[in-house]
């Protein structure tokens, strides 16, 4: 049972954050790819005896690696923070609900006494009527 719960939680989180997860995976694969390319270029430069270019190549490699790792860490850290879009949607929903409540108050004031009675009257369905018998 614990396996099922663990699996359900894992797949739910993976589905919810699939965009960020794919970005993190792509960035980390770029780190591995840059390492592979660097070793290949170093071998080539050693074979052609052009080692003076290694001083340019090493900082570029580490800049790429550190940027990708830092960006991946940022994405992982901010994964559970509420996004601005969610806040805007919540504010919009609250405004719409307050407008609806104001409209209801105005409509209730314009109603006749008989209409107000119908609003407060409890409606009974067929099952409640049968239960009373």
For residue 91, the Cα-to-chain-centroid distance in whole angstroms is 18
> Could you give the number of structural domains in the chain?
2
Kindly state the tokens that stand for 130: 């049968």
Query: What are the Cα distances from residue 55, in Å, to 46, 50, 59, 60, 64?
Result: 13, 11, 7, 9, 15
Query: Are 29 and 69 part of one and the same domain?
Result: yes
- Which domain does 73 fall in, by range? 1-81
Same domain for 113 and 77: no
Among 38, 55, 81, residue at a domain's last position: 81
pLDDT tens track, the chain, 133 positions: 778 888 888 888 888 888 888 888 888 888 888 889 888 888 988 899 988 888 888 888 888 888 888 888 888 788 777 666 666 777 777 777 777 666 665 555 677 777 777 777 776 777 777 777 7
Last residue of a domain, one of 54, 81, 108: 81
Asked if residue 125 and residue 115 are part of one domain, the reply reads yes
User: Does residue 89 sit in the same domain as residue 33?
Assistant: no
Gap between the Cα atoms of 47 and 24, Å rounded: 35
Domain identity same for 59 and 46: yes
């Amino acid at each position: 049972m614990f396996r099922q719960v663990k699996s359900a939680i894992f797949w739910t989180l993976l589905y919810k954050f699939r965009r960020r997860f794919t970005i993190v995976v792509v960035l980390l694969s770029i780190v591995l790819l840059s390492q592979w390319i660097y070793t290949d270029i170093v071998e080539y430069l050693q074979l052609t005896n052009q080692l003076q270019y290694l001083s340019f190549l090493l900082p570029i490699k580490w800049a790429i690696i550190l940027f990708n790792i830092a960006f991946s860490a940022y994405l992982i850290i901010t994964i559970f923070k509420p996004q601005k879009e969610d806040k805007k949607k919540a504010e919009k929903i609250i405004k719409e609900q307050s407008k609806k409540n104001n409209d209801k108050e105005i409509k209730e004031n314009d109603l006749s006494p008989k209409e107000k009675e119908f609003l407060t009257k409890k409606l009974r369905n067929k099952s409640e009527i049968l239960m009373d018998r």
